[in-house]
Structure 1
């Protein structure tokens, strides 16, 4: 690996070495716009020149509000080239949430990119300069196409230093108000170096970017890893074209969250029911053909590393994908530790049900309560403007993750829950919901699940159902869920046994505030809405209740 001192130096290297190689592929309206490394460099420099024209103080904070697209990457490069600090904002946030982050981060300028509903968000943006990527329809402030047409590329590019503040990443807020996690240039450089040595992908591999680039995992593991490898990055045009865009890309590295894997399985089983699939996979001469066909359709025909993170993935789902030759490596990391913690990876045993072994430079301690404490070479420097909260989450240089875990005798870590997710029933017994949720998730009718039980004698399961479940009659669905409860209850302690399953009327989505942008269930938000009904549901005679 070439030793790069910053993400920008990695890009500048490949711009010089392979200027004519395609770097970015952006589908739009059925066509694909491509940017070579040279073209991306020229365009980013012109945007950097425009940023310089606003005469902002050195190391000013520049916000970036956009879905994943070529212009997100170009904007990030331009912010680096002009010597400023990036403030990525999730493209699904409300106007109020955007305003909160812009004001807290003291952003001096905002770049507006590809968005689904900017009209509802624009009131959250204060009176600061704006640059709009008008290719996607937004036309506020300075227009990207006019800047590229009129500006000369910035000639004096800023040279980032390892200790420079590189970005402030606001957490997705599963609990409470988002916090601004500060990372230096050196943190990103160290993090990507560890990923490079761990995954060992070839230079100029193909990547597919669709999970929010405002999130640390996509930012480091896709954008910045791609910069180090001189890789090609493709994007999805929309949710409707996601499957065909991924199939067209066939990336060597693919990263997903548990919800995506469940959706993939659901789509396959819609076309090929499980009984038929099992039969086809049992026939020797058809086995390989079927596997390759399924992998090609998923976009994973040439994948070398397939990763799942952000939340625990059920062992049954991982085993199901293994049967079609898709090996999923489960990983564990956080915004605060720059995603450098633990992972299963090529070259070591992929132990399903664990998040793997600790990575290089990682030191771990478990508190008496089992909380995981992490120290590495790329821990955040702290939360922006929150020294008291920063002090609370560190203990002798170790970051307190809030996750509870345990190691096996081979050094593989299993996450057994969140400290804050544990709840107490009115019997006074504490329950960790995550392991029970994973067991329940083996039922393919379940889309999302949240085990709750505060103030009632036994826990109940709040669920939403996927397309598979929605296609069934109420009786069929109830029988299926009851069978799952009857199967797992004997494996649970007496106080953990599930008493009821409540089927929600509406799905939990980013739009209604019940999942994060990375599709994790927001337990606090769900409990706030539904806790008043727990006692009434508990008293009902039915085991399966439709809300």
Structure 2
């Protein structure tokens, strides 16, 4: 029987008392893992609590955390909780202006700055508040984590968390509009993690690998807080360059990847072993089994008992491709506002093309317009300082409006068919949901990113960023490949949905150029704002496949 806890601090303290000398966190530095036991982590956390209080931070104050995933992210978050403060995580890829907006809006009194790629350019966004750097990652400030823990004794008192107290304000990465601060309680996370422990079965003290931004609700809950509740061993990658090597060395018991990560893994496999060769090897009885084992080991997924995808839709064709390698991907569905206690496919209960059934404690239904509505004890307390926006998110009977359009099948599995805000009208006046069409186009290995658009033109067009394999092809070959996929797809679409043109984009959409969110979803509104003036010209082009000038 797995132990249940009512708060992160209660869970952490249990492991500190019962297995103090077991490894909790593993941080790679110069290609060697620096390990922190539960006792060592606790000692640093309690010293940081003393330091925060000594520097004038009071219980209830807001303390921000700006860092890529690392051992100190988790220690800092636990220290903020243990000091009785409320954490404000900030995406490590944000620029100075966005950082300043969040620190200002959240009224943060202090910020802990950890592992970053370009702190020099972000530093200007931090106003005159208490700033604590971490020497291990080269973020030097007047106050550093290392100096403060050397100067302070461990705090004799630790805040006792209650279920209904505010624990964190998480600013959404937002595919549209300004980020909003989602308020969540201790109890919401406790219920979520205890539910996950009940339905996702892992070994005692599992191995976790943390690489997606912990500022995102899925990683915060599924890796950070799950590791605290399960007493897991958490390892991190050192850099993007060492990511594959680090993941392979860890072989975690659970793996979560957004669709783009699964696409990238596939691309790397096919670079080394083209599809025809892979198909042939998999068809051979003994060799096929060995090839599967080798690929899983190389990816780092040989021990994974549950592989998940979330944050954006994943193509069924991609899941089927992985299933042939005995890598089963479970698509999950949730959002910051519902603390991701929503719908999950689970090992043994996995229906491709759906996002699964409601988790225990979740009530879900569809509005008259087909919008998915969710109710549970884990819904947000609201958007910080935004009562009007909060009110807009709920129905009169207390259901959260997800903004997604869906349908349930006769077995109770939910499929998402589109997003309310993503729908657009062509000038024929017909509404189109682009997401299902985009997923079909992503079946083509030459396509990396796609955005189906059509505002102000008679038929939709597909904006396409080619994959690495697509870029290696000549223009003629790539055009032929893309248009063949569209010709295969169009007969299955309604007349007004049929794709009239494909436009090959000249630059990739990334977090850096503002065309993707930190959780790697395409920012449709930014892509549209940039390219909409060109739609009529592209639509009228004589070629079926147009190259952006």
TM range (shorter): over 0.9
Q: Deviations over 1:172-220 (max 9, x none)?
A: 0110000000000011101111111110212210000000000100000
Q: 2:281 touches 2:288 (CA, 8 Å); kept in 1?
A: yes
Cα distance, 1:20 vs structure 2:
1.2
> Please, which runs of 5 or more residues in structure 1 have no aligned partner?
none
Q: CA deviation at 1:347?
A: 3.7
Counterpart CA distance in 1 for 2:381 and 2:55 is: 28
Q: How does 1:102-181 map to 2 (within 5 A)?
A: 102-181=103-182
Q: Distance in 1 between matches of 2:173 and 2:197?
A: 26
- 1:497 corresponds in structure 2 to 498
Q: Quote the residue 2:488 is aligned against.
A: 487
How large is the RMSD of aligned CA atoms in angstroms? 0.8
- Which residue is equivalent to 2:526? 525
What does residue 390 of structure 1 align with? 390
Helix, strand or coil for the counterpart of 1:76? helix
> TM-score, structure 2 length as denominator?
0.99
Name whichever of 324-333 and 152-161 sits farther off: 152-161
Secondary structure, aligned partner of 1:108: strand
Q: Does 1:213 align with 2:220?
A: no
How many angstroms does 1:43 deviate by?
Answer: 1.0
Matched, 1:448 2:456: no
Return the alpha-carbon distance in structure 1 between the equivalents of residues 154 and 37 of structure 2.
16
Return the offset for 1:496.
Answer: 0.3
Write the distance in 2 (CA, Å) between the matches of 1:296 and 1:147: 41
> C-alpha distance in 2, partners of 1:542/1:28?
52
CA–CA distance in structure 1, aligned partners of residues 207 and 26 of structure 2 = 10
Counterparts of 2:134 and 2:450, CA distance in 1: 38
Contact 1:129 1:141 (8 Å CA) reproduced: no
**Matched length:** 546
Q: Is contact 2:372–2:401 with CA below 8 Å preserved after alignment?
A: yes
In structure 2, runs of 5+ residues without a counterpart are none
**Where does residue 89 of structure 2 map in the other structure?**
88
Query: 5 Å matches for 1:51-450?
Result: 51-348=52-349, 350-395=350-395, 396-450=397-451
Residue 61 of structure 1: CA displacement? Answer: 0.4
Partner Cα distance (1:104, 1:141) in 2: 24
Contact map agreement 1:133 1:144 (CA 8 A) in 2: yes
The SS at the match of 1:401 is strand
CA contact (8 A) 1:206 1:251 kept: yes
Shift of 1:282: 0.5
CA-to-aligned-CA distance 1:345-401 (integer Å, 9 cap, x gap): 0242x1001001111111112011100000011100000000111001100110000
Contact 2:109 2:130 in 1 (8 A): yes
SS in 2 for 1:121: helix
1:219-241: CA deviations, max 9, x gaps? 00111111111000110111100
* SS of structure 2 residue aligned to 1:336: helix
Between 167-176 and 467-476, report the one with greater CA deviation: 467-476
Deviation at 1:57, TM superposition (A): 3.1
Looking at structure 1, the residues matched to 209 and 527 of structure 2 have their Cα atoms a distance apart, in angstroms, of 32
Shift of 1:3: 2.5
Alignment partners' CA distance in 1, 2:141 and 2:57: 19
* 1:202 and 1:229 in contact (8 A); partners too: no
CA distance in 2, matches of 1:212, 1:480: 34
Greater Cα offset, 148-157 or 75-84: 148-157
1:415 positional shift: 0.4
Secondary structure at the aligned position of 1:517 is classed as coil
